Every structure is written in structure tokens, then in C-alpha cells.
Amino acid sequence: MGVMRIGHISIKVMDMEASVRHYEKVVGMRTTHKDDKGNVYLKCWDEWDKYSLVLTPSDQAGINHVAYKVEKGSDLDEFERRIREYGIGVEILDEGALPSVGRMLRFTLPSGHDMRLYAKKECVGTDVGSTNPDPWPDDLQGAGAHWLDHCLLMCEMNPEKGINKVAENTRFFMRVLDFFQTEQILVGPGGAIQLASFLSRSSKPHDIAFVGGDRAGLHHLSFFLDSWHDILKAGDIMAKNRVRIDVSPTRHGITRGETIYFFDPSGNRNETFAGLGYQAQPDKPVITWTEDQAERAIFYHTGVMDQSFTTVYT
């Protein structure tokens, strides 16, 4: 039983044509479906379910919801029970509420974000198939991202008022959804305040992350690449397409990941992320970064962080 991986993220975009062009030409996704509401659904070449990104037209940027896929339908019944017992309401969405997706659980995280769980989505296969596959397809575009890897959600934090939605989300994910913590940043007197938390349901360093901020929002959605070389090439592709780059290629201390951050045309922050970093397991000791090393934890090479990296988000 359990959550397997991130299934998709639904985000708001202000210019659909420009956004589709960005996610196809720069990230390397392809459109798999459009509905009568103007929403566009896309997938990466190495994903087998029908889509991992939903673009919805809006007059502002930001997140609609994030959805994780569970192993089987009966898991939804168990998670519904656990979530309700935790004190959070659950809405049951019938099959077809989203195209090609079965029954879903919809609920609001302690941080205020909309989350969904589902067990069924139409399987269309990877772009290289499952029989004698090539290592990559011949028609790759842009960065050629393999898959949607994770997202980082900003959570309200105000220690003076006793508000720490990072810690509340962490407790919920560990106690109810069976995630385990891989890393954290602790700040304040005696390291009593959990500023950031990284959680996994796999062998990856994180499947979701939370960082404290002034309000709830989306910090970034991240796409997996193979290597440091692919990160550099992605930077070249972004420059060629005049994409606004937020953080040029570098390494994180947290997760040991190789990274570049950039924005889609609406201002939603994207990341291309390479390197699995280390093998994450439930019995691995949690890695803790202290306040004096927090900037190096985020940008390991320079140990310097632009304030806008944690204050500008959608």
C-alpha cells in the first residue's frame, strides 16, 4: 500500500500559447490532450501515464493542485480514513473529474494547498516504448526532460505567532501518507524552528519539499535530467529561447542535486534537476542543516543566496 510518486501538477498560466510553447520547446514535453475548458495536458518522454502537467488559463500564475499516485484503488479507501481521522475533510471526485483519471481524493493540506490522491490514470507508454526500447527518442525537443520529478511548496511561517505550516505539513505527510523525511533546515534558538523539510516516498532525496514563507504558494516544479552536462545544455536552450533564468547552473548542498532555475512565461518557477544525490531510505538518518549553513545548503558552491529566491514565488 502507499503513495508511489508525484502524478501531476496543475498550474495557472496567463498566456496559454506562450506557456505551451515553453513547456514543449524549452522543457521538452509534448501535448497529449486539450479539453473544452481551454486546459492543456502535457507529458515528458519517459513518463508512461497520459500527463504530468496541466496548464489552466487564468489572469494570474500559481498552483491549482498537486496530485500523487497511489499503488491501488483500495489505498484510496485507507487514506480517506486516515485523513479524516487526522481531522481534515475529504472530497471524493468521481472517475472522469479529470480527463483519463479514475476516482480521486481531494483535500486541503495544513498549509492550505489543494492536494489529490488517485490510483488510476490512462497509461499511454513512454516515447520509446516497453519492448526493446532505445535510450531516448529521436524527436527530443529542448532540454528533453525525463519526467516531472517533484515540487516545492511555500508554507506560511510566522514564529512570533506560533505559525509553522512547514512543520504541520511534515507531520501530516509522515503520519498519514507514510512519507519519510530526508533533510531539513533548522533555525532559531537551539534550532527549534523547522524552516525547510524534504520528504520522500521512494529512493530519491525528495518527492516533495516545504519551505517557510510569508504565504502559501508554489516555489517551483522540477523536471529530471540525466547529468550535469544536460543541466548545462538546458541552460544553453533557455538562453537561446530568451527564457528568464533565475539561478544559473549550480549544485545544492541539500539533496546534492545539480540544478538550474528559470521561469515560464507567466512567472511560475521551473527547475531542471539532475543527480539522484544519494539513496534515500526510511532508516537513513535525517540530514540536518543548521542556520549558519542554510545558504550553503541551498547553493553549495557560493554559499550566497539572493533574497528573492525565497520571497518571489507564485
CB 205 within 8 A of CB 257: yes
Domains of the chain: 3-118 (3.10.180.10), 147-311 (3.10.180.10)
Query: Is 113 labeled as catalytic in the residue annotation?
Result: no
- Interatomic CA distance for residues 312 and 314, integer angstroms: 7
Q: Inform me whether the pLDDT recorded for 275 exceeds 90.
A: no
Q: What band does 303 get if pLDDT is binned at 50, 70 and 90?
A: confident
**String of DSSP letters for 154-171:** EEEEEGGGTEEHHHHHHH
Query: Is 91 labeled as catalytic in the residue annotation?
Result: no
CB 218 within 8 A of CB 63: yes
Active-site residue, selected from the candidate residues 206, 219, 258, 313: 206
Q: What band does 277 get if pLDDT is binned at 50, 70 and 90?
A: confident
What is the four-CA torsion angle of 132, 222, 270, 266, rounded to 10 degrees?
90
Q: Inform me whether the pLDDT recorded for 37 exceeds 90.
A: yes
CB 183 within 8 A of CB 194: no
Q: Inform me whether the pLDDT recorded for 236 exceeds 90.
A: yes
CB 311 within 8 A of CB 214: yes
Q: What is the pLDDT of residues 47-102, one digit of tens each?
A: 999 999 999 999 999 999 999 999 999 999 999 999 999 999 999 999 999 999 99
3-state secondary structure of 142: coil
Active-site residue, selected from the candidate residues 22, 113, 146, 220: 220
Query: Is 291 labeled as catalytic in the residue annotation?
Result: no
Residue 111 C-alpha cell reads as 498549509
C-alpha 75: how far from chain center = 22
How many C-beta atoms lie closer than 10 Å to residue 241's C-beta?
A: 13
Active-site residue, selected from the candidate residues 41, 51, 261, 313: 261
pLDDT of residue 283: 96
